[in-house]
């Protein structure tokens, strides 16, 4: 079934909610069955990861805005962005969510938060990224396929 103009099939729930759900799962397990990564937490590394995640995300959002395309999942892309962080990762915003999740895991010293990323990334890959890539292929054809061959999905 074709999508209304300007839209493709939206990601439900949205990616930030999927990462938050994974965090709640990992945090709940950590609360009930504590499992620490290290003898002590490394808060400065966790804070550094969170700062990096914010910078990457803001850089990607600014780059997309300058290109005149939407940042919202489910909103049709009006431009193929290949510069800025998109020159290194096809999904820098999702990558920033992974970095933020790892930063929180380091902050609270939780193996469970790291392990909860696995199902989160499986869901993000199949329910969000693959449909987005199909949309971009339909929208931009060989230009997107060439970009896809040149730039890795994550890093």
Instruction: Give the pLDDT means over successive 10-residue stretches in the chain (155 positions).
Output: 48 88 97 92 91 98 96 86 98 98 95 97 95 94 98 96
Instruction: Tell me if 104 is assigned to some domain.
Output: yes
Instruction: Tell me if 114 is assigned to some domain.
Output: yes
pLDDT value at position 4?
42
Terminal Cα distance for the chain, rounded: 33
Range of the structural domain that residue 101 is part of: 42-150
Instruction: Tell me if 4 is assigned to some domain.
Output: no
Whole-angstrom distance, CA of residue 138 vs CA of residue 132:
10
Query: CA separation (Å) from 101 to 95, 130, 146?
Result: 10, 21, 31
Instruction: Tell me if 112 is assigned to some domain.
Output: yes
pLDDT value at position 86?
98
Number of domains in the chain: 1
Instruction: Tell me if 98 is assigned to some domain.
Output: yes
Instruction: Tell me if 65 is assigned to some domain.
Output: yes
Q: What is the pLDDT of residues 127-146, one digit of tens each?
A: 999 999 999 999 999 999 99
Q: What is the pLDDT of residues 74-83, one digit of tens each?
A: 788 899 999 9
Whole-angstrom distance, CA of residue 155 vs CA of residue 87:
10
Instruction: Tell me if 95 is assigned to some domain.
Output: yes
Instruction: Tell me if 28 is assigned to some domain.
Output: no
pLDDT value at position 76?
83
| Torsion of the alpha carbons at 58, 60, 66 and 69, rounded to the nearest 10 | -120
């Amino acid at each position: 079934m074709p999508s209304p103009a300007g839209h493709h099939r939206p990601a439900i729930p949205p990616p930030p909610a999927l990462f938050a759900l994974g965090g709640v799962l990992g945090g709940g397990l950590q609360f009930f069955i504590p499992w620490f990564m290290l003898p002590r937490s490394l808060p400065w590394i966790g804070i550094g990861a969170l700062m990096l995640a914010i910078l990457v995300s803001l850089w990607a959002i600014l780059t997309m805005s300058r290109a005149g395309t939407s940042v919202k999942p489910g909103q049709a892309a009006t431009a193929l962005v290949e510069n800025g962080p998109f020159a290194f990762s096809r999904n820098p915003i999702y990558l920033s969510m992974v970095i933020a999740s790892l930063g929180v895991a380091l902050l609270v010293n939780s193996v469970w938060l790291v392990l909860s990323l696995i199902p989160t990334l499986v869901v993000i890959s199949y329910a969000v990224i693959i449909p987005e890539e199909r949309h971009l292929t339909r929208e931009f054809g060989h230009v997107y396929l060439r970009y896809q061959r040149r730039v890795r999905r994550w890093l």
